[in-house]
Amino acid sequence: MAAAGAPSNLALRLLTAAVFAPLILYSLYLGPWWGFPLIAAIACGLGAHELFAMIAPRHWLLRAYGVAASLVVFGLVALPEAQRWVLASLITLTCTGLAVGLRDPEPVEHAAAARMGWAVAGPIYIGALFGALASLFGREHGGSWVVLALVFAFFSDTAGYFVGRRFGKRPLAPVVSPKKTVEGALGGLAGGLAGGLIAHFTILPVLPLWHAIVLSLVATAFGQLGDLSESLIKRSVGVKDSGTILPGHGGVLDRSDAMLFTAAAVWLYVTLVA
């Protein structure tokens, strides 16, 4: 229970959202062209720092490399003129990441292999998915595509929470996230579908109705996988939150875990279908 006079977690969440939501919407629709990509790049750097601080808290070189490499991957995905360098950069980053993992190899048992694996996978996970969000912004109707990705994550998270709290009985993934239920996941899918339909009739009439339905379900399912993936990472290293930078929410990854995956789904749709 919160101490007397202390703001509740819900109040902190609402206050944080009230501060950041107008800034993000301004950058998407009214701000300079570089505004939202800059916000996405900052979030990428912070998210990478949180990830590598969790998995390699005593290895400063790996943490520094993880942030730098994630920003490189972010640029490769977000900047069209940089995309011709993707293959060469991924090969270079793979070799460099494994080499960085050789420094300070103790303890050699499973932890060393995990660190070397994350040195390669971490920048792709963080950099590519935040880069996809920035890349969406550069497309036609870019601000609305980004909002769609955010709506999927928010509506799914909100609906899943309340449906799971009221009707949840069957555990969804008890080892990964004991509080999540099958009923909550289904409620989250319904919430994502509602968000997609609202977007179709308001900010994205260019999105055909049946496309909106299919994309809503696929992207929302992606988002739930992203949420569970970050939960597994945190559980494996014994932490509750990835960070403390966002009052009431935890870290950047705590707030963006599902959104990164919904953004990936929307990016794939816009790139391959739309």
How far, CA to CA in Å, does 11 sit from each of 18, 46, 114? 10, 24, 37
108, amino acid identity: V
160, amino acid identity: G
**Dihedral sign, Cα of residue 195, residue 197, residue 203, residue 208:** positive
pLDDT tens sequence across 140-154: 999 999 999 999 999
Per-residue pLDDT averaged across 98-102, rounded? 80
How far, CA to CA in Å, does 61 sit from each of 47, 69, 101, 230? 17, 12, 9, 23
User: For 58, which DSSP code?
Assistant: T
Tell me, what's the pLDDT at 139? 94
At 99, list the tokens. 């080499």
8 Å CB contact between 164 and 184: yes
Cα 150 to chain centroid distance, Å, stands at 10
Q: Which of 20, 274, 50, 257 is nearest to 28 (CA)?
A: 20
Q: Which of 204, 202, 226, 228 is nearest to 215 (CA)?
A: 204
Per-residue pLDDT averaged across 178-193, rounded? 95
Question: Between these two residues, 116 and 131, which has the higher pLDDT value?
Answer: 131
Cis peptide upstream of residue 107 (ω within 30 degrees of 0): yes
Tell me, what's the pLDDT at 143? 96
**Dihedral sign, Cα of residue 42, residue 238, residue 122, residue 225:** negative
8 Å CB contact between 145 and 139: yes
How far, CA to CA in Å, does 208 sit from each of 83, 140, 147? 29, 15, 17
Per-residue pLDDT averaged across 61-73, rounded? 95
Map out the domains of the chain as residue ranges: 20-138, 141-268
What H or E segment, with its residue span, contains residue 180?
strand 177-181
pLDDT at 55 over 80: yes
Tell me, what's the pLDDT at 255? 87
pLDDT at 110 over 80: no
Tell me, what's the pLDDT at 5? 42
pLDDT tier at 18, thresholds 50, 70, 90: confident
pLDDT at 125 over 80: yes
8 Å CB contact between 220 and 192: yes
The per-residue pLDDT of the chain, averaged, comes to 88
pLDDT tens sequence across 26-51: 999 999 999 999 999 999 999 999 99
Question: Between these two residues, 8 and 6, which has the higher pLDDT value?
Answer: 8
